[in-house]
Amino acid sequence: MTRVCFVSRVRPDRLDEYRARHAAVWPEMLEALRDTGWRDYSLYLAPDGLLVGHLETDDYAAAQEAMTRTAVNPRWQAEMAAFFVDDGNPDEGFQVLDEVFHLEDQLRAAGLPTTPSTARSPHADPDRAADDAAPRPTTTDPARLEDLA
């Protein structure tokens, strides 16, 4: 299994419409992604148009190539092209990033468990115990995105 992260850039004047289109992706496109090996696929959009994608797949090149053979992908890419800063098919313009850290891989390499122990860590701050139960904002939380900008 390979983890893939990529970036691209959405036109700042089209962010709301881009979000709306991705809130209701065509079922045929969802099935094509699933059937061609895209798993745990997420997109993140910053207020300035920076788009970050992350997925897991057995073979990214094979998954991309399989998508080019689907009937739906050319239609979807044609619809999406107007949203992106760069010309061409959006799925061909992704800049793939090198993974430099993965917690579970490093825990395994160090011979450590990848899941928390049931006992509190000696490094935990006892004053934060109440905070640990509170939900934390995610990067999809608009208020949190503003903090990250």
* pLDDT tens digit sequence for 111-123: 999 999 876 555 6
Per-residue pLDDT for 132 more than 50?
Answer: no
For residues 103-135, one letter each, b for 16 or more C-beta atoms within 10 angstroms of the residue's C-beta and e for the rest, the string is eeeeeeeeeeeeeeeeeeeeeeeeeeeeeeeee
CATH number at residue 89: 3.30.70.100
* Residues in CB range of 69: below 8 A, 6 or more apart: none
Average model confidence (pLDDT) for the chain?
Answer: 86
Query: Tokens 């079922």, residue?
Result: 27
Q: Is residue 130 part of a domain?
A: no
| Annotated catalytic residue within 22, 54, 102, 123 | 22
Q: Report whether 90 contacts 8 (CB < 8 A).
A: yes
Q: Is residue 108 part of a domain?
A: no
Q: Is residue 37 part of a domain?
A: yes
Q: Is residue 114 part of a domain?
A: no
Per-residue pLDDT for 138 more than 50?
Answer: no
pLDDT for position 120: 56
The string of pLDDT tens digits covering residues 44-60 is 999 999 999 999 999 99
User: pTM for the complete prediction?
Assistant: 0.75
Per-residue pLDDT for 75 more than 80?
Answer: yes
Overall number of domains in the chain: 1
pLDDT for position 32: 98
Task: Supply the range of the domain harboring residue 21.
Answer: 2-97
Q: Is residue 49 part of a domain?
A: yes
The string of pLDDT tens digits covering residues 11-29 is 999 999 999 999 999 999 9
pLDDT for position 89: 75
pLDDT for position 131: 47
Active site residue 22: yes
Q: Is residue 141 part of a domain?
A: no
